[in-house]
C-alpha cells in the first residue's frame, strides 16, 4: 500500500508458490500466453514434455532464447504473438494453458473472452486453464481506500479521502474483474466442467496476496471419463461466526478425519482493515471516523481475522487438500473446503490416476444484472486525458479567457441530494480541485517545481508525453501520475534515445521521482564517459525488469 515496488524476497515467494500450485496439477504439455521473460517457464518447463511460450514482445522472446542457449530445454518453443493470435496452434494440443499476471493489462473483458474462447479449443479434455493474479473488482474500492489512507496526512477528512478514492477508482487503468465472471463463463462455454476461484498463497501482505486471486478452469473430459461426475460424498458445512469456530476447533475436527469439511465466512486477516476503511467512506452514520488519523486508530481495534495461509499449512500437516475461495456475500471473508487425501485418491482411481478437480461445493455467486458489471473500464483514464484538452480548447475558442475554468475534474457521476439536485457539498473541495487540476492526480505544491537541469527538463517532457499530461513537476511520482509497468518500459526506451544510456527498469521503480531519476541518469552518463562498465542492459519487458532478480 506504500506505492513501492514489491520486495524481491516477496516476489521469490510468489513465484515459488505459483509454480508449485501449477505443478500440483501435473501438466505435461503447456502453452503459456504472455510468457514475458520466462519467470514461470524456467520453473515449469523442466517438468514438462512440451512447453510453448508466446509473447507480443520480441525483446522478451530474445531474452528467453539467450537463456535457453545455456540450458538443456529442447521441449521449449517460443512464438512472438498477441494473446488473441492462435494461428498454428492445433486443437487439443495441450493439457494446460497459462495466463499468469497478464490479464490486468488486457484492454477489456471482451478481449479476455476472445482469448479464453480460443484457449479452450487448444486444451485437451481433462486439462485446465490457469489464470493468475486477477485483480478483484469487489475489492477495488477497498484497495484504493487502503492506498489513499496509507498516503494521506492524518488531518485529511473523511470526505476528502472519499473523493480521492472515487477519483482513483474512476482512473483505474488496469482491467479489474469480478470473480462471478468466471462462473458465468461456465454457462457460456460448455467445455468448462468446473471453476475454482482461489486466493493467492503467501505470508507477505502485499497487493498480490490481498487484492488478487487465481482461477482454474477445468475442461470437461471425454465421455468415457464421465464417471468423474459421480455424486460427491457427504460433507460437513459450518459457519465461522454462527458456529463459534476458532483455528483450534477446526484443527480438532480435522484430526477426526472427516472426508470433506467446508467452512464459510472466515474473516480474512489480509483485507479486513481495507474493507472497513472503504465502508467508512460510503456510510452516512455518525459512527464513521471523521479524519484519517481517527480511522487509523479505529482500525487498531478491529478483530484481526485469520490468515488464509494458516489453512494451507494445516492441510499439509493433516494430509488434506484445501481450496480457499472468496465468500459469495462478503468481500472481507473467505470459504475453505478441506478434502482428505483418501477422497482424492478414490477419485483419481476412477479417472485413471490423473489429477482431478475437487468437488464443487460452493454456490455460484450472484451474477451482475448487466454484462459490463463484471469488470471496470480501464480505458476511462485515457478517454479523460483526451477529453479535457478538447473541452479546454473548445471553451477557449468560445468564451472570454476569464471564463475558462482553471482546472477540470472528471467525475463518474454528479453526487445528488435525495431531491435529485446536485449535492454541492459532496463535490471536490476547492483546494482539492486546485491540487488535482488538469492531471486529476493529487499532489503537493512542490510537485510543480520547475526543472533545474537539462536532464530534468527532458524527463519532464518525456513524462508528459507518455502519461498524456499537460503539466508535470520534478517532484511527481511516475506511478502516482498513472504510470504502470508497461509504460515504464516505454520510459526506459525514451531515456535510451534521449540520453544514450541503458536504464534498467528496476531503477524506475526504485527512483520514480524525476529528481531521483535524473541523478541515476547523470551517474550512468558519467560512467559511460569514463568508459567504465555500466549497468548491464536488461530487457525492456516489464515483468523481467520488475522481477529481474528472480530469473534463473
26-44 b/e (C-beta count within 10 Å ≥ 16 → b)? ebebbbbbbbbbbbbbbbb
Percent of the chain scoring above 90 in pLDDT: 46
Mean pLDDT of 502-531: 84
Ranges 10-19, 142-151, 196-205, 407-416: which has the least confidence: 407-416
Q: What is the mean pLDDT of residues 81-109?
A: 94
Are the C-beta atoms of residues 99 and 33 closer than 8 Å to each other?
A: yes
Close Cβ partners of 21 (under 8 Å, ≥ 6 residues apart): 130, 201, 214
pTM attached to this predicted model: 0.73
327, 335 Cβ separation under 8 angstroms: yes
Chain segment 381-439, per-residue pLDDT in tens: 667 666 777 887 888 888 888 888 766 777 767 878 888 888 877 776 544 444 444 44
The H or E element containing residue 259 is none
Q: Which residue segments constitute the domains of the chain, with CATH numbers given?
A: 1-135 (3.40.50.150), 136-174+221-378 (no CATH), 380-439 (3.30.300.30), 445-550 (1.10.1200.10)
* Rounded Cα gap, residues 205 and 269, in angstroms: 10
Burial environment of residue 22 by CB neighbours within 10 A (0 to 12, 13 to 18, 19 or more)? buried
The pLDDT score that the predictor gives to residue 222 is 53
Proportion of the chain above pLDDT 70, given as a percent:
80
Cell 457521476 found at: 413
Give the integer Cα–Cα distance in Å for 374 and 177: 6
| Mean pLDDT of all residues in 454-458 | 91
From the list 490, 511, 502, the residue with the least C-alpha distance to 535 is 502
Three-state DSSP string of 277-319: HHHHHHCCCCCCCCEHHHHHHHHCCCCCCECCHHHHHHHHHCC
- Please give the span between the terminal C-alpha atoms of the chain, in angstroms, as a whole number: 29
Secondary structure element (H or E) that encloses residue 383, with its range: helix 380-398
Summarize the confidence of residues 27-49 as an average pLDDT.
95
- Rounded to whole angstroms, how far apart are CA atoms 111 and 200? 24
Among 93-102, 181-190, 284-293, the range scoring the smallest mean pLDDT is 284-293
d(CA 385, CA 363): 41
C-alpha to C-alpha distance for 375 and 172, rounded to whole angstroms: 11
- Chain segment 198-238, per-residue pLDDT in tens: 999 998 888 999 999 999 999 987 544 444 444 556 788 99
Whether the per-residue pLDDT at 188 is higher than 70: the answer is: yes
98: Cα within 13 Å, side-chain hemisphere: 30
CA distance 232 to 435: 59
As to burial, measured by CB atoms within 10 angstroms (0-12 exposed, 13-18 middle, 19+ buried), residue 79 is: middle
**pLDDT exceeds cutoff 60 at 551:** no
Residue 396: its pLDDT value, please? 84
Look at residue 548 and tell me whether its pLDDT is greater than 70: no
Answer for the pair 67, 552: CB distance below 8 angstroms, yes or no. yes
Q: Average pLDDT of the chain?
A: 82
CB distance 278 to 254 below 8 Å: no
The three cell numbers locating residue 270:
489480509
CA 552/CA 548 separation, integer angstroms: 9
pLDDT in tens, 162-172: 888 888 888 78
β-strand partners of 128: 96, 218
pLDDT band at 481 (very low <50, low <70, confident <90, very high): confident
Question: Rounded CA gap, 302 and 286, in Å?
Answer: 18
Amino acid at each position: 500500500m506504500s506505492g513501492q515496488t514489491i520486495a524481491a524476497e516477496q516476489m521469490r515467494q510468489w513465484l515459488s508458490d505459483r509454480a508449485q500450485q501449477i505443478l500440483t496439477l501435473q501438466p505435461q504439455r503447456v502453452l503459456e500466453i504472455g510468457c514475458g521473460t520466462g519467470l514461470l517457464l524456467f520453473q515449469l518447463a523442466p517438468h514438462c514434455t512440451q512447453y510453448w511460450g508466446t509473447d507480443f514482445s520480441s525483446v522478451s522472446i530474445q531474452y528467453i532464447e539467450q537463456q535457453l542457449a545455456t540450458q538443456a530445454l529442447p521441449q521449449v518453443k517460443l512464438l512472438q504473438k498477441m494473446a488473441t493470435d492462435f494461428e498454428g496452434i492445433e486443437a487439443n494440443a495441450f493439457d494446460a494453458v497459462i495466463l499468469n499476471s497478464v490479464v490486468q493489462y488486457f484492454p477489456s473483458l471482451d478481449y479476455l473472452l476472445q482469448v479464453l474462447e480460443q484457449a479452450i479449443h487448444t486444451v485437451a479434455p481433462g486439462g485446465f486453464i490457469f489464470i493468475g493474479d486477477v485483480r478483484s473488482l469487489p475489492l477495488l474500492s477497498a484497495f484504493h481506500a487502503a492506498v489513499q489512507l496509507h498516503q494521506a496526512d492524518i488531518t485529511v477528512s473523511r470526505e476528502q479521502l472519499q473523493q480521492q478514492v472515487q477519483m482513483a477508482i474512476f482512473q483505474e487503468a488496469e482491467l479489474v474483474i469480478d470473480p462471478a465472471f468466471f462462473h458465468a463463463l461456465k454457462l457460456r462455454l460448455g467445455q468448462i466442467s468446473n471453476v475454482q476461484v482461489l486466493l493467492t498463497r503467501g505470508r507477505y501482505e502485499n497487493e498480490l496476496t490481498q487484492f488478487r486471486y487465481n482461477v482454474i478452469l477445468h475442461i470437461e473430459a471425454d465421455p468415457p471419463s464421465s464417471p468423474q461426475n459421480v455424486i460427491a460424498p457427504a460433507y460437513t458445512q459450518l459457519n465461522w461466526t454462527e458456529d463459534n469456530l476458532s483455528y483450534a476447533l477446526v484443527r480438532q475436527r480435522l484430526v477426526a478425519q472427516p472426508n470433506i469439511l467446508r467452512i464459510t465466512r472466515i474473516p480474512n486477516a489480509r483485507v479486513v482493515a481495507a474493507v472497513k476503511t472503504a465502508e467508512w467512506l460510503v456510510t452516512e452514520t455518525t459512527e464513521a471516523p471523521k479524519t484519517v488519523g481517527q480511522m487509523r486508530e479505529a482500525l487498531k481495534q478491529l478483530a484481526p481475522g485469520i490468515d488464509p495461509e494458516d489453512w494451507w499449512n494445516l492441510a499439509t500437516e493433516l494430509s488434506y487438500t484445501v481450496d480457499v475461495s472468496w465468500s459469495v456475500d462478503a468481500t472481507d471473508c473467505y470459504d475453505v473446503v478441506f478434502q482428505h487425501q483418501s477422497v482424492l485418491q478414490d477419485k483419481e482411481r476412477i479417472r485413471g490416476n490423473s489429477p482431478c478437480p475437487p468437488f464443487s461445493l460452493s454456490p455460484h455467486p450472484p451474477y451482475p444484472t448487466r454484462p459490463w458489471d463484471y469488470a471496470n473500464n480501464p480505458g476511462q483514464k485515457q478517454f479523460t486525458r483526451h477529453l479535457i484538452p478538447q473541452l479546454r480548447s473548445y471553451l477557449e475558442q468560445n468564451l472570454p479567457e476569464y471564463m475558462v475554468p482553471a482546472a477540470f475534474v472528471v467525475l463518474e457521476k454528479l453526487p445528488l441530494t435525495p431531491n435529485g439536485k446536485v449535492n454541492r457539498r459532496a463535490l471536490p473541495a476547492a483546494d482539492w480541485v486546485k491540487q488535482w487540476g488538469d492531471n486529476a492526480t493529487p499532489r503537493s505544491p512542490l510537485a510543480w517545481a520547475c526543472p533545474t537541469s537539462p536532464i530534468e527538463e527532458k524527463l519532464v517532457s518525456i513524462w508528459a508525453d507518455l502519461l498524456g499530461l499537460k503539466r508535470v513537476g520534478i517532484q511527481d511520482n511516475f506511478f502516482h501520475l498513472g504510470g504502470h509497468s508497461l509504460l515504464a518500459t516505454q520510459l526506459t526506451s525514451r531515456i535510451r534515445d534521449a540520453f544514450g544510456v541503458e536504464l534498467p527498469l528496476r531503477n524506475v521503480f526504485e527512483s520514480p521521482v524525476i529528481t531521483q531519476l535524473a541523478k541515476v541518469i547523470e551517474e550512468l552518463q558519467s560512467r559511460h564517459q569514463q568508459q567504465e562498465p555500466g549497468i548491464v542492459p536488461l530487457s525492456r519487458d516489464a515483468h523481467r525488469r520488475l522481477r529481474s532478480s528472480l530469473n534463473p
